[in-house]
Amino acid sequence: MKIYKDILQIAMPVMAENFLQFLMGMVDSYLVSHLGLVALSGVAVANNLITVFQAIFLALGGAVSVILASLVGRQQSAKLAHHATEALKLTILISLVLGLLTICFGRLFLLFLGAEKAVAHAGGVYLVLVGGTIAFLGLMVTLGAILRSLGKSQLPMYVSLVSNLLNALFSAVAVFVFQAGIVGVAFGTILSRLIACLILLRSIPFQFSKPSWKLDRELIRLALPATGERLMMRAGDVAVVAIIVSLGTAVVAGNAIGEALTQFNYMPGLGIATATVILVAQARGSHDEKRIREVVRASYLLSLGLMLLIATTIFLFSGPLSGLYTDDSLALEASSLVIVFSLLGSPTTAGTLIYTALWQGLGKAQLPFYATSLGMWFVRIGIASVLIFGFKWGLVGVCLATILDNFFRWLFLSVYFQKYTLK
């Protein structure tokens, strides 16, 4: 059917880009694992804070996609340069604030999460370097969103490929040749992102307008609830990590290994969710409610099928893959649990991703914000705390609570969509 072709035309390059982004994290984790469990745990905890920052930029990128795709749907391309310029300006402002906060308080935050001093020291070094230069990641996300909204989905994919190859090369040389340790891995990430930003910037097919001193109200209106939703999600993830830290360094490391591997499970869902945002925004711009419902149904079926395929593959090869990182029995056991529950939770994860994208594409990101706030803090963290500290279920409690959270959010968003009528 044409609807599946339209989705995959946007989603496939995004999937490849997500795959490459996940591969960058996997390469970093693999290189850091050669420095010991303390280094691996430190970088894992630090990356949880960096993913909070990334969530902010992804929310902003989603808002940019909604605005630009809606303009394309209404054939109002004259306004593209203005909104693109405002998006870059806002990205830079947010990056400066986050970078300064990371440099000043990053290491203290890791200690606040309950990390041991050695783990906090190792993670703090990585966090200050990568988090302090978070602007490069932010610009990559925003520039990629601009290009995808203009129908240039493949270009960000190619740039990600170049960036990942450079990251692997720079980091490996730094670790194995110059013995630069965590600092070397961090600089490999920074340099590869800088080069990617420069390539993407030169690829924008129009001249940016002169930036104003005012902020784009429409962009802020769309970005704020989406940012709130992402922050609730990532802040909740940080809280979950703080719970996992109480289970010991080996469990933290095993959870990090499992998450590094299962990130590939979510790759199709994230790519199709990006396509869903753009196609729904375009359909909204042309007032085509039937098209919106077709996109949602097809997007869920595609994401579920592809996610199950990858999750099953990761599960079947989980032993050898986890063994690449460590031979610690407790860490391997924790990694295995994360992989199994990721496979079991694929249907609910796909539902949450697609229906969140649906409401963002409709310009109503408030609903995902409410769903995530309730699901993360009351369902996931609440149930996980009870299962771990009350029933002593350990990491199993966290994994089970994650599935229940995704089911709750999927149900919440889908019920509201059944009542939705395009106005």
**Does residue 423 lie in a domain region?**
no
Residue 347 lies in a domain: yes
Q: How many domains does the chain contain in total?
A: 1
Angle at 329 between CA 328 and CA 334, to 5 degrees: 100
| pLDDT at position 73 | 60
Whether 109 maps to a domain, the answer reads yes
Q: What integer pLDDT is reported at residue 76 of this predicted model?
A: 59
What are the pLDDT digits (tens) for 397-413? Answer: 999 999 999 999 999 99
Q: What is the pLDDT of residue 422?
A: 57
In this predicted model, which residue has the larger pLDDT, 241 or 376?
376
Going 312 to 313 to 314 to 317, the CA torsion angle's sign is positive
pLDDT at 421: 65
The answer to whether position 332 is within a domain reads: yes
Please state, rounded to an integer, the average pLDDT across all residues of the chain. Answer: 86
CB-based contacts of 216, cutoff 8 Å, min separation 6? 82, 83, 86, 87, 90
Residue 261 lies in a domain: yes
Residue with tokens 């939703």: 229
**For residue 64, pLDDT beyond 60:** yes
Instruction: Measure the CA–CA gap between 383 and 165, rounded to whole angstroms.
Output: 41
pLDDT at 351 over 90: yes
Name the strand (E) or helix (H) holding 113.
none
Lowest mean pLDDT among 264-268, 346-350, 351-355: 264-268
Host domain of residue 92: 2-418
Does residue 254 lie within any of the structural domains? yes
Does residue 143 fall inside a structural domain?
A: yes
For the stretch 141-174, pLDDT in tens is 999 989 988 878 788 888 988 888 898 899 889 8
Task: Using a pLDDT cut of 70, give the percent of the chain over it.
Answer: 96
**If we measure between CA atoms, which residue out of 70, 83, 71, 78 comes closest to residue 279?**
70
Contact residues for 120 (Cβ-Cβ < 8 A; gap 6+): 42, 45, 107, 110, 111
